[in-house]
């Protein structure tokens, strides 16, 4: 199975969102990605790119040195495991009639990803470092660089209980659904944080905290001279377990800024569950109650988000159907998908998915096709079509058709 | 005189006491004994025949010779899939916990090294490269060509099935099994066990209505560190295409495995947990 990594395609012109294809191809594009300017990848300001370009180059050289060096010195740590991926992405963007001044065009972007992982010599702490660097073929060598992942973790067993300690920058997402889980409070992406997990037999307790130092939050805080700290702090407490053919989890979370620096804190209480009927059919559900306390400016508010879905396995194919309801935007969305991502020996990995916003009629369709027969080279094609009612949020995207051809090499 | 269940002892006592005694009397006593012996022979012989073929014993013998029932083990398996025109190969490691949980990781091909799946009871999760969270998958899902999860990690015919019918031929035993739990992946199974060697030759997996689903052909039996295993060729009987998957055991070692490795929340840390917490 080829690995899916985050790739960023910049849609140029106007108020253009970044189309962020999730690391897991099984997660469809959420509506928020299509509607809002996206800075959640944490790319640095332009003035720092030059320095980061040098840093990236040095890290690449260091990584390649470790990779090709025949044997480590006796005093060195255990040799890290290195993974490199180089992709060239050709994207064709077709703009809607609302943007007549922007011509349909083709972009080409190179993405280089390096991941190093290993163990420290003492205390059995493991580390993982992931760096992603992009280059626009038409402009400069490097157009962006980011530390995608920097993780330290260790597992301790004591008296029949297992404890997992994690700290660093990671994607903390949880859930059992194909699309976004309502109980997960943060947006997509990697965030700095820490998490403690305790498992015993079939039960678990998880406590975590993360901070989203979103550039967007800082920009919005400045004009009104808000005294609140820029950056959202999210904390969560999860407790659950799994039974014979089902599982459940209660989630309590706190968000200091739910949407932006001006949004007051809110508390969430949620529940996730899934069940396998052992005949090919499995169902899952999730509900989240959000409460925003009363402030000087606004009254308290409550919100309910829920998701119900199911999947049916037919040989190597999986058919998924979900309904997601978000009370704050009064959106009810229907998501369906068919794919063969779990078929390890399939020559072609393919997937078709669609999201239909039942509230405003907006739709998008996605076709994904990847050739996996070669050992280290994986060409793939992705087609995204945004359609539906003109007043829909999906239709507010300046792009109505996006075709991407990716040539990915694993080094 | 105290009666003995063993007629030979009775005869011996009689011969001692009647030594030099009345010959005609002794002859009559021997004649009375012969019918008794014949009756005993007729009684014991069928019992002896039944003891020679006990279907339960056959399954127990298979179970113990495979030797994976108690303790925790690491199995290295090579899976080769052939779909009539193309062949694919993968090398996997199956970690068997003494509670019956199974963790399967990939060694080859390179693109699958970050993938794994976990089976705990009737729960199955998969974690693929790039995924942060494991996803629940169906136990019916085909993972290696025609081989699904159940065939890969092993079907426990002794403890998960009851014997409905058994027959014996000159060369083999035929057992018809029915699953004890309706949640078992394959509700019915038919086994052919060879008399010579006492190993499974063929298994046909069926649905509850008796429809054949898959056929497993066993061959090339050998002993690996005291565990008697054979190559398993899995054929899908529902499809007309010439598709089959062969599972070959490369190595079996006893290995202590930390319980954390069989937690779905720890799946993305499974390799590091096994690497630090296990002992060979």
Other Cβ atoms closer than 10 A to B241: 10
Cα–Cα–Cα angle for A92, A95, A97, rounded to 5 degrees: 155
Residues of each domain in chain B carrying CATH 2.50.20.10 = 55-111+138-258+269-277
pLDDT at B135: 83
Domain limits for position A293? 7-410
CATH number of B55-111+138-258+269-277: 2.50.20.10
Position B11 scores a pLDDT of 36
Q: Determine, for residues B137 and A2 on separate chains, whether the beta-carbon distance falls below 8 Å.
A: no
The answer to whether B95 and B260 have CB atoms below 8 angstroms apart is no
Residue B15's pLDDT is 37
Confidence of residue A46 (pLDDT cuts 50, 70, 90): very low
**A79-109 pLDDT, tens digit each:** 788 889 999 999 999 988 777 787 778 888 8
Given A176, A204, A372, which is nearest B111 (Cβ)?
Answer: A372
Q: What is the predicted pLDDT for the residue at A81?
A: 84
Minimal CA–CA distance to A4: which of A31, A34, A26, A25?
A25
Whether the CB-CB separation of A232 and A206 falls below 8 Å is answered with no
Cβ–Cβ gap B137/A342 under 8 Å: yes
Q: CA nearest B263: which of B97, B69, B149?
A: B97
Mean pLDDT throughout A307-315?
Answer: 89
Residue A369 lies in a domain: yes
Binary contact (B183, A244; C-beta < 8 A): yes
pLDDT band at A370 (very low <50, low <70, confident <90, very high): very high
pLDDT at A195 over 90: yes
What is the rounded CA–CA span in Å between residue B11 and residue B25? Answer: 13
Number of domains in chain A: 1
Tell if the CB–CB gap between B273 and A204 is shorter than 8 Å: no
Nearest CA in chain A to B261: A162
Say what the pLDDT of residue B25 is: 62
Which residue in B239, B143, B165, B56 sits closest to A313, CA to CA? B143
Among chain B residues, the shortest Cα distance to A1 is held by B112
pLDDT-based confidence at residue A406 (cuts at 50, 70, 90): very high
pLDDT at A194: 96
Helix (H) or strand (E) holding B56: helix B55-66
Q: Please, which pLDDT band fits residue A220 given cuts at 50, 70 and 90?
A: very low
A170's tokens: 């990671």
Task: Please report whether residue A313 resides in a domain.
Answer: yes
Q: How confident is the model at residue A296 (pLDDT cuts 50, 70, 90)?
A: confident
Are A143 and A132 in contact by the 8 Å Cβ rule? The answer is no
Within 13 Å, how many C-alpha atoms sit on residue B34's CB side?
5
- Phi (first) and psi of residue A204, to 5 degrees: -150, 155
Specify if A151 maps to a domain.
Answer: yes
- Torsion sign (Cα): A368, A373, A376, A377: negative
Residue at token pair 């349909």: A104
Question: B78 forms bridges with which residues in the sheet?
Answer: B91, B248
A358: in domain: yes
In the 3-class helix/strand/coil scheme, how is A341-365 assigned residue by residue? CCCCCCCEEEEEEEEEECCCCEEEE
User: Which of B250, B246, B248 shows the shortest CA–CA distance to B87?
Assistant: B246
pLDDT < 50 positions in chain B = 1-22, 50-51, 277-280
Q: What is the pLDDT of residue A1?
A: 31
Q: Please give the model's pTM, rounded to 2 decimal places.
A: 0.76
**Chain-chain contact of A410 with B143 (C-beta, under 8 angstroms):** no
For position A222, what pLDDT does the model report? 41
From A284, which residue of chain B is nearest by alpha-carbon distance? B136
Could you tell me the CATH number of the domain that includes residue A283?
2.40.160.100
Q: Can you give the pLDDT at residue B75?
A: 92
Query: What does the buried/exposed string (b/e) look like for B178-200 if buried means 16 or more CB atoms within 10 Å of the residue's CB?
Result: ebeeebbbbbbbbbbbeeeeebb
Q: Is residue A2 part of a domain?
A: no
- Rounded Cα distance, A5 and A113, in Å: 9
- For residue A387, the model assigns a pLDDT of 87
């Amino acid at each position: 199975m080829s690995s899916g990594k985050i790739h960023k395609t910049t849609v140029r012109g106007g108020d253009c969102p970044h189309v962020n294809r999730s690391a897991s191809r099984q997660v469809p594009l959420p509506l928020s990605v299509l509607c809002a300017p996206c800075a959640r990848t944490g790319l640095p300001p332009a003035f720092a790119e030059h320095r980061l370009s040098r840093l990236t180059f040095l890290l690449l050289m260091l990584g390649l040195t470790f990779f090709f060096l025949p044997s480590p010195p006796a005093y060195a740590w255990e040799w890290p495991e290195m993974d490199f991926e180089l992709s060239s992405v050709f994207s064709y963007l077709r703009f809607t009639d609302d943007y007549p001044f922007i011509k349909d065009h083709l972009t080409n972007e190179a993405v280089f990803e390096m991941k190093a992982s290993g163990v420290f010599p003492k205390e059995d702490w493991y580390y993982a470092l992931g760096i992603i660097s992009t280059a626009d073929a038409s402009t400069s060598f490097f157009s962006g660089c980011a530390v995608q992942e920097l993780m330290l973790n260790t597992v301790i067993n004591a008296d029949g209980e297992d404890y997992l300690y994690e700290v660093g920058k990671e994607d903390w997402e949880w859930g059992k659904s194909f699309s976004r889980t309502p109980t997960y409070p943060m947006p997509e992406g990697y965030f700095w944080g820490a998490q403690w997990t305790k498992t015993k037999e079939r039960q678990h307790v998880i406590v975590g905290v993360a901070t989203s130092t979103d550039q967007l939050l800082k920009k919005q805080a400045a004009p009104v001279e808000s005294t609140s700290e820029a950056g959202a702090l999210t904390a969560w407490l999860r407790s659950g377990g799994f039974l014979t053919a089902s599982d459940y989890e209660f989630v309590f979370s706190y968000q200091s800024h739910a949407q932006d620096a001006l949004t007051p804190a809110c508390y969430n209480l949620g529940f996730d569950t899934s069940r396998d009927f052992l005949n090919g059919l499995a169902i899952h559900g999730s509900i989240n109650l959000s409460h925003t306390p009363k402030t000087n400016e606004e009254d308290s508010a409550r919100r309910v988000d829920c998701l119900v879905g199911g999947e049916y396995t037919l040989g190597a194919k999986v058919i998924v159907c979900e309904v997601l309801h978000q009370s704050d935007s009064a959106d009810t969305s229907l998501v369906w998908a068919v794919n063969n991502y779990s078929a390890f020996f399939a020559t072609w990995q393919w997937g078709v998915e669609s999201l239909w916003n039942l509230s405003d009629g907006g739709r998008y369709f996605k076709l994904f096709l990847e050739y996996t027969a070669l050992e280290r080279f994986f060409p793939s094609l992705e087609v995204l079509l945004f359609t539906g009612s003109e007043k829909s949020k999906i239709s507010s995207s300046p792009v109505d058709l996006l075709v991407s051809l990716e040539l990915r090499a694993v080094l | 005189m105290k009666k003995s269940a063993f007629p030979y002892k009775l005869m011996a006592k009689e011969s001692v006491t009647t030594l030099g005694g009345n010959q005609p009397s002794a002859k009559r006593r021997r004649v009375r004994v012969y019918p008794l012996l014949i009756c005993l022979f007729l009684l014991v012989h069928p019992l002896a025949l039944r003891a020679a073929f006990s279907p339960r014993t056959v399954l127990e013998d298979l179970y113990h010779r495979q030797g994976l029932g108690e303790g925790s083990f690491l199995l290295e398996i090579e899976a080769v899939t052939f779909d009539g025109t193309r062949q694919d190969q993968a090398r996997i490691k199956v970690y068997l916990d003494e509670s019956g949980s199974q963790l399967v990781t990939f060694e080859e091909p390179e693109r699958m090294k970050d993938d794994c799946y976990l089976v705990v009871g009737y729960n199955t999760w998969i974690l693929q490269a790039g995924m942060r969270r494991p996803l629940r998958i169906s136990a019916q899902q085909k993972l290696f060509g025609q081989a699904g999860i159940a065939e890969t990690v092993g079907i426990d015919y002794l403890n998960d099935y009851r014997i409905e019918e058994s027959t014996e031929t000159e060369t083999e035993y035929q057992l018809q099994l029915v699953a004890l739990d309706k949640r078992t992946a394959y509700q019915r199974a038919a086994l052919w066990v060879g008399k010579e060697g006492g190993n499974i030759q063929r298994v046909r997996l069926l649905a509850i209505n008796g429809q054949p689903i898959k056929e497993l052909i066993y061959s090339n039996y050998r002993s690996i560190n005291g565990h008697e295993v054979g190559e398993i060729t899995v054929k899908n009987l529902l499809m007309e295409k010439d598709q089959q998957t062969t599972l070959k055991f490369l190595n079996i070692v006893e290995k202590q495995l930390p319980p954390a490795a069989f937690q779905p929340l720890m799946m993305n840390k499974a390799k590091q947990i096994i690497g630090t917490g296990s002992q060979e």
